[in-house]
């Protein structure tokens, strides 16, 4: 079984690449982030033609998540129970579904903007809600994973130059502590293996030739419980999909399971 996560940075702009990628990779389940569309505008029909069902949580121009599956789609949950919201709005940042033998959450963690900003405090509260929402599944006996754009680099080596991030979000102790609290529910980081690149980053800014210079970050993560991680046979960042015209600024992270 092949499961992946991908921040497509606008499903409208990326639909042709998405469809081609699904066909070429044989992915069974895709957790998608930053759809930047409404549920009505999501390419459900195009995906159905390829044999995929879609569970979409999206409301407009920003955010938006989905789980796309060709192995079943049941028990869909849209949004986090206890979602703290930002400025009295609960943003579409999480959706869960059971896909065959595996249950997944697709998450798009708030960016945080800058340390001390109200959005940064919201990010930490959102992590608390995520932890509470997944705790039971994480501790259970069914393969389970939380996949998505976490907007946090777990360690210094997960950014191209840690000195550049001094005082910035994505690497602060509070954000990394939130990741540790999430893992404490029974989840482990499915690190790409074997490492196909020295630095398996997942995100490169569009500006300043960041991708050709490999000035990236590993912020798209797969956190799985023990039944999930024990079933992993391979995991990698599909760096090739970041290349070329019309690419997202994120690359897909792909995990193969023997389930």
57 catalytic? Reply is no
Q: Please, are residues 13 and 246 in contact by the beta-carbon 8 Å criterion?
A: yes
Task: Please check if 34 is assigned to a binding site.
Answer: yes
CA 259/CA 257 separation, integer angstroms: 6
Q: Please, are residues 104 and 3 in contact by the beta-carbon 8 Å criterion?
A: yes
83 catalytic? Reply is no
Task: Please check if 149 is assigned to a binding site.
Answer: yes
108 catalytic? Reply is yes
Rg, the chain, Cα only: 17
Residue position matching structure tokens 């092949």: 2
CA 222/CA 198 separation, integer angstroms: 19
Give the torsion sign (CA, 43, 49, 52, 54).
Answer: positive
For residue 118, the Cα-to-chain-centroid distance in whole angstroms is 23
Active-site pick, 149, 170, 203, 220 = 149
Task: Please check if 151 is assigned to a binding site.
Answer: yes
CA dihedral 203, 137, 74, 220 (to 10 degrees): 0
Task: Please check if 249 is assigned to a binding site.
Answer: yes
Task: Please check if 9 is assigned to a binding site.
Answer: no
Active-site pick, 28, 52, 57, 108 = 108
Q: Which residues define the annotated binding site?
A: 7, 34, 149, 151, 249-250
Q: Which residues define the annotated binding site for Mg(2+)?
A: 7, 34, 149, 151, 249-250
Active site residues: 108, 149, 250
């Amino acid at each position: 079984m092949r499961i992946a996560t991908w921040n497509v940075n606008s499903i409208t702009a990326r639909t042709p690449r998405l469809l081609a990628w699904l066909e070429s990779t044989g992915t069974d389940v895709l957790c998608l982030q930053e759809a930047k569309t409404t549920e009505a505008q999501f390419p459900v029909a195009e995906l159905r033609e390829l044999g995929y069902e879609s569970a979409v949580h999206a409301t407009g121009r920003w955010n938006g998540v989905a789980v796309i599956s060709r192995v079943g789609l049941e028990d869909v949950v849209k949004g986090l129970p206890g979602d703290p919201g930002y400025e009295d709005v609960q943003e579409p940042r999480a959706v869960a579904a059971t896909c065959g033998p595996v249950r997944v959450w697709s998450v798009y963690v708030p960016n945080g903007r800058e340390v001390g900003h109200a959005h940064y405090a919201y990010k930490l509260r959102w992590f608390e809600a995520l932890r509470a929402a997944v705790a039971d599944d994480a501790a259970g006996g069914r393969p389970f994973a939380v996949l998505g754009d976490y907007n946090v680099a777990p360690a210094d080596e997960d950014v191209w130059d840690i000195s550049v991030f001094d005082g910035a979000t994505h690497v602060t102790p509070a954000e990394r502590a939130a990741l540790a609290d999430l893992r404490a529910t029974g989840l482990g980081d499915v690190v790409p293996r074997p490492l196909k690149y020295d630095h398996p980053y997942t995100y490169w800014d569009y500006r300043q030739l960041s991708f050709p210079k490999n000035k990236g970050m590993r912020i798209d993560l797969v956190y799985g419980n023990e039944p999930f991680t024990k079933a992993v046979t391979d995991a990698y960042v599909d760096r090739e999909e970041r290349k070329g015209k019309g690419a997202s600024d994120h690359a897909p992270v792909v995990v193969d399971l023997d389930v």
